[in-house]
Structure 1
Amino acid sequence: MNVTFYTSLAYSNPLCVFWQTKVELVGYVIIIFLSITWCRIKWNRRLIDRFAAKIPGPPSYPLIGSLLEFRGTSQDLVAKMIKLNEQYGPEPCKIWLGSSLALYVMKPEDIQIILNNSNALDKGKFFKFFSGAFGEGLSTAAVPKWKLHRRIISPFFNNSHISTFLSVFNEKSVALICNLQKELNNTESFDIYGYVFTISVDGVCETSLEYNHDVQDNEKTEFLDSMTKFTELVTMRITMPWLYPDFIFNIYGKFTGLNQIYEKLFKFPNKIIKEKKFQYAQRKKTNFSSLNLTRNEKEQRKVLLDVLLELNDKGTNLSNKDLRDEVLSVIFGGMEIISITICFCILMLAIHEDVQDKVYDEIYQIMGDGDRIVTIEDTIKFVYMEQCIKETLRLYPVAPMILRELRDDVKISNYIIPKGTTVNISLIGTHHLQELYPNPWEYNPDNFDPEKVAKLHKNSFIAFGDGLRNCIGEKYAMLLMKVLLSTFLRNYSVHTKCKMSDIKLKIELMMKSVHGYQVMIRPRDSKPTFKVKCNEKNG
């Protein structure tokens, strides 16, 4: 028997003919469905396609868009972003993220229009990638929920309330000095990031959760490890459009243990929330609710969770998940932005010792050689220090981009951007525009001299965003950074063998140094100065 016989036999069998016809019919239906879907997508985004045709940008390919241009390591990704900014800036350029158009915007005038437009409040589909961990916290929530929660949480970040945390920030600064003592006078450099990160996490956790145990506590360590693994997964997902659909990413997540990561990530905040709710209920039973506090008790600092629970008691109706989402957003944003910025700033001062001397002289003139701790009035007077922090954030913005998805057409200087476009505000692009900052890759705190700043557009520097959805924690972060840096520099001088050209950048959700922050420290002996006294409690 040959193939021809079997084929004729199959066609003579009515059952085979039936199934073959059914398979063909299903195939035709799938092809027609995909064709209609594709035509519908093309029709719905016809205005975006017409707009994109006018904008320069790197090559794009079906399904994957421009992402071939950005393949490689997290270090390669930063290098290619910088190259894109230099090649096309300061005018807008485009990249296709899969089938989604992203418009890169760098000019301060255009940035101001976007960030202050009520149709540009949505952070877009890519921020939904974070929702597995952060749910609908301030950083990821859709506009209606964000407006409500922003109004609820704003009082926690006002100046008068933040000032109540000064004792915590001073305490953590002392702990940093004591922890660093083991590195004194070493001839080899060390990465200061681990020390700063430990203290930042403790400070943020204590002011948001009133949790002040050692960072080596198993549950907190597990929490931080899970946060790191989650951010690695999300960073990878952004560069792989085939993982954009949730159902595909969920399947992928099962093979990478994503559910276990979530479980460990939520365990720590869930436990603290449960304990705080119990404590709050006990206070109410004994007539120590917020309505019955004495004046002194009212003046005591309230952590973020206290504020949210009190608002719940007044009818806000935040669920346990809402509480966890907001706490996680604040902890992650706070610990990352503060830790990385302080480390970059210390490294810059180590490379530029003349600048370090000027910062120290300012601290000495304000605080003298007494043993007092930093006050709010001191931090206001740390003007040159603030210039150094801002110059660090200009050079190395921790969050190198701001994303907005337009709910309606928005007109900028030379274009009308159509509804549905994702606008990528490139901080690393704007902060390195030659016309704004001469020698943009050099460290120069004088860029933020008040006279120079007055001549620049206000959105020439946007490390904390601007407009309607700016960073709510800017003043909190600046206060903690000033207290930590001033205490550090009163006790130690910092040095390094690293040069500016040695610094390589990578993106792991936030922008970091590839090789860490390698420094050496020495006791500060040039003038009589305040010295921290360490004991078992703080060292």
Structure 2
Amino acid sequence: MSGNPVASLLPTKLAPTSTFSVLMSCTIVLLFVSLLMYKWRRRRLEKLASLMPGPPALPILGNGLEFMGSPEDVMGKIISISSSYESPFRVWIGPLLIVVLKNPEDIQIVLNSSKTLGKDPLYRFFRNTVGTGLFSAPVEKWKKNRKAITPAFNNRLLENFVPVFNEQNKYLIQKLSKHVDKGTFELFDYISAATLDIICQTALGIDVKAQDNPNCEFAQALYRASELDYMRIYKFWLHTDLIFYNTGYGKELSKIYKQLHEMPNLVIKKRKDEYYQRKQRQRLIDEGKMKKPEEEEPKRMRIFLDILLELKDSGTTFTDDDLRDEVVTMMVGGSETSALTNCFCLLLLAMHPEIQDKVYNEVYSIFGDSDREVTWDDLNRLVYLEQVLKETLRRFAVGPIFLREVKEDIDLTRYTIPGGCTIALCPIALHMRSDIYPEPEKFDPDRFLPENIAKRHKYSFIPFSGGPRGCIGSKYAMYSMKTTVSTILRNYTLQTDVKMEDIKLKVDLLMRSSIGYPVTIKPRIRKPIPIPA
């Protein structure tokens, strides 16, 4: 037997197969055990999720396939699902549990709880664009920086920005003049350029002249970065950096990040050098080592970056990257949001001439037929216009969803939301609840009369989020938008063929009209307009 050559070879030939089988078996067992452990750790999360209503979900994929498609498809699905289920309801994006809220009582709990103070981990996709400014910062960094910045972001600073609002809107009026009595044109291209010029001038102290340059690289980079960052949230298979940055989208985004940060970095370095040179000169003057100039330097407008430099100089631990992140956050958060709201507002006014007339009469009561610039006091007197802007934000909340991370179980009015999931606060659904806003499809600024506001829950209107982590720039946005809309109405009458039902929506980082904002303009005859009783 021992001399049989075939028998002697058999163990040698079978050994690799046996080893492979053992390895495969071990791998399968390990995967099975890992899956069991994963399910065991998530047992409470899945049990609590099973108690909530929501669309049927596939294994592994969850409801992820429902959010595939164009930005219009995604927005349509969000609106459809939001209107189909009572709050709260659950959605699965792959293994991620998202609990959607459109109930003001629950929203108040979430926005004011320390358990949900952190932005969701999905916001990490925005950090390459805006870094870790107030919008996307981890909780501890946000607490420190918000505490430092908030006192400086006051009415005195905002009043200081009004001349910039006037300057850029005056130029906007000139740009629009070529469309007077010339038929329909797209409003967004003009409004977004003006808004970007305003935010760059008030945040960084530079005029990027976007209104003169339709192909402004910085403006295009801002828009495309928002689009690509938000896309990753819905396409969960692109959540892993290794996969995403080896796709065409990822490679494009890497180039865009460089474009976005190059200009702010250069401006911050220059402004910082100037700041410390002025401080050094003043120190030498105070010590008698340098003569005070006979003529005082022209007074410079105080900008957001100056505040950050002063805070850094006074002992805060801001790094140069922190300065850039906060400035870019303000630019991203303050340009597109205001531009879109202005465009929705002006389109709605063109659709509702009777409301446009009421706004104009308020504007005329303040300015008459003069061409004088808007003042801080004027902005505070534009009460009806503010109602119109708020109703615009109710009807078309440009930030349609806010995401919060749930660190540990949190009790809402009817359910316990498990730690480890994501809460989605959904203004686009909350603001369209007919029990809170009767005839929600109707555009009615009187909803925001003081007596009507008093009848509603405080958290039934959250276009700027709310609670301690609400938008720090909401007042800035309102004053800037009031200036733009009132200036345009002082000069032009707006008309459009668009009806409310024609407006289709799409979403990237923000919500937009997929049909644009088509209007026609005519010269404004400056006299009061009789309003039928």
TM over 0.5: yes
- Distance in 2 between the 1:253 and 1:389 partners? 39
**Per-residue deviation at 1:31?**
2.8
**Per-residue deviation at 1:248?**
2.2
Which amino acid counterpart does residue 68 of structure 1 have in structure 2? Answer: L
- Per the alignment, residue 267 of structure 1 pairs with 262
SS of the equivalent of 2:261 reads helix
- Distance in 2 between the 1:251 and 1:494 partners? 47
Asked if 2 retains the 8 angstrom alpha-carbon contact of 1:405 and 1:422, the reply is: yes
Summarize the Cα distance change of 1:321–1:33 in structure 2 as closer, same or farther, 3 Å threshold.
farther
Summarize the Cα distance change of 1:27–1:169 in structure 2 as closer, same or farther, 3 Å threshold.
same
Summarize the Cα distance change of 1:11–1:285 in structure 2 as closer, same or farther, 3 Å threshold.
farther
- Distance in 2 between the 1:125 and 1:276 partners? 33
Give the alignment's Cα RMSD to 1 decimal: 2.7
Which amino acid counterpart does residue 147 of structure 1 have in structure 2? Answer: K
- Distance in 1 between the 2:82 and 2:487 partners? 37
1:284-303 alpha-carbon deviations (Å, 9 max, x no partner)? 2322799999xx98985421
1:451-466 aligned at under 5 Å gives the runs: 451-466=451-466
Asked if 2 retains the 8 angstrom alpha-carbon contact of 1:11 and 1:17, the reply is: no
- Per the alignment, residue 125 of structure 1 pairs with 121
**Per-residue deviation at 1:517?**
0.3
1:340-355 aligned at under 5 Å gives the runs: 340-355=340-355
Structure 1 length as normaliser, TM-score? 0.90
Which amino acid counterpart does residue 155 of structure 1 have in structure 2? Answer: P
Point out where structure 1 has 5 or more consecutive residues left out of the alignment: 1-7, 530-539
SS of the equivalent of 1:455 reads coil
- Per the alignment, residue 433 of structure 1 pairs with 433
Confirm whether residue 77 of structure 1 aligns to residue 78 of structure 2: no
1:144 to 140, 144, 151: 140
1:76-475 aligned at under 5 Å gives the runs: 76-89=73-86, 91-186=87-182, 188-215=183-210, 221-252=216-247, 256-287=251-282, 301-475=301-475
Q: Which moved more, 1:383-392 or 1:144-153?
A: 144-153
**Per-residue deviation at 1:337?**
0.9
SS of the equivalent of 2:497 reads coil
Summarize the Cα distance change of 1:250–1:452 in structure 2 as closer, same or farther, 3 Å threshold.
same
Identity over aligned pairs, percent: 41
- Distance in 2 between the 1:473 and 1:291 partners? 37
- Distance in 2 between the 1:349 and 1:25 partners? 73
Query: How many positions carry a matched residue from both structures?
Result: 519
- Distance in 2 between the 1:196 and 1:253 partners? 31
Summarize the Cα distance change of 1:156–1:522 in structure 2 as closer, same or farther, 3 Å threshold.
farther
**Per-residue deviation at 1:478?**
0.3
Summarize the Cα distance change of 1:259–1:30 in structure 2 as closer, same or farther, 3 Å threshold.
farther
**Per-residue deviation at 1:253?**
5.9
Asked if 2 retains the 8 angstrom alpha-carbon contact of 1:157 and 1:476, the reply is: no
- Distance in 1 between the 2:275 and 2:460 partners? 45
Structure 2 length as normaliser, TM-score? 0.91
Which amino acid counterpart does residue 176 of structure 1 have in structure 2? Answer: L
Which amino acid counterpart does residue 280 of structure 1 have in structure 2? Answer: Y
Asked if 2 retains the 8 angstrom alpha-carbon contact of 1:157 and 1:475, the reply is: no
Q: Which moved more, 1:109-118 or 1:62-71?
A: 62-71
- Distance in 1 between the 2:430 and 2:440 partners? 10
SS of the equivalent of 1:257 reads helix
- Distance in 2 between the 1:28 and 1:287 partners? 76
Which amino acid counterpart does residue 116 of structure 1 have in structure 2? Answer: N
**Per-residue deviation at 1:274?**
1.7
- Distance in 2 between the 1:519 and 1:31 partners? 63
SS of the equivalent of 1:498 reads coil
- Distance in 2 between the 1:107 and 1:178 partners? 45
- Distance in 2 between the 1:211 and 1:179 partners? 20
Asked if 1 retains the 8 angstrom alpha-carbon contact of 2:102 and 2:425, the reply is: yes
- Per the alignment, residue 66 of structure 1 pairs with 63
- Per the alignment, residue 290 of structure 2 pairs with none
1:178-207 alpha-carbon deviations (Å, 9 max, x no partner)? 111111111x21111011101100100011
Summarize the Cα distance change of 1:302–1:26 in structure 2 as closer, same or farther, 3 Å threshold.
farther
**Per-residue deviation at 1:396?**
0.3
**Per-residue deviation at 1:346?**
0.2
Q: Which moved more, 1:207-216 or 1:434-443?
A: 207-216
Asked if 2 retains the 8 angstrom alpha-carbon contact of 1:123 and 1:403, the reply is: yes
Asked if 1 retains the 8 angstrom alpha-carbon contact of 2:361 and 2:528, the reply is: no
Asked if 2 retains the 8 angstrom alpha-carbon contact of 1:70 and 1:239, the reply is: yes
**Per-residue deviation at 1:413?**
0.9
- Per the alignment, residue 49 of structure 2 pairs with 52
SS of the equivalent of 1:443 reads coil
- Distance in 1 between the 2:194 and 2:443 partners? 26
**Per-residue deviation at 1:255?**
6.1
- Distance in 1 between the 2:521 and 2:284 partners? 48
- Distance in 1 between the 2:175 and 2:212 partners? 16
Asked if 2 retains the 8 angstrom alpha-carbon contact of 1:155 and 1:161, the reply is: no
Asked if 1 retains the 8 angstrom alpha-carbon contact of 2:119 and 2:403, the reply is: yes
1:5-44 aligned at under 5 Å gives the runs: 12=9, 17=14, 19-44=16-41
**Per-residue deviation at 1:365?**
0.9
Asked if 2 retains the 8 angstrom alpha-carbon contact of 1:220 and 1:268, the reply is: no
Point out where structure 2 has 5 or more consecutive residues left out of the alignment: 288-292
Asked if 2 retains the 8 angstrom alpha-carbon contact of 1:58 and 1:69, the reply is: no
Which amino acid counterpart does residue 180 of structure 2 have in structure 1? Answer: L
Which amino acid counterpart does residue 503 of structure 1 have in structure 2? Answer: I
Summarize the Cα distance change of 1:127–1:369 in structure 2 as closer, same or farther, 3 Å threshold.
same
SS of the equivalent of 2:478 reads helix
- Per the alignment, residue 3 of structure 1 pairs with none
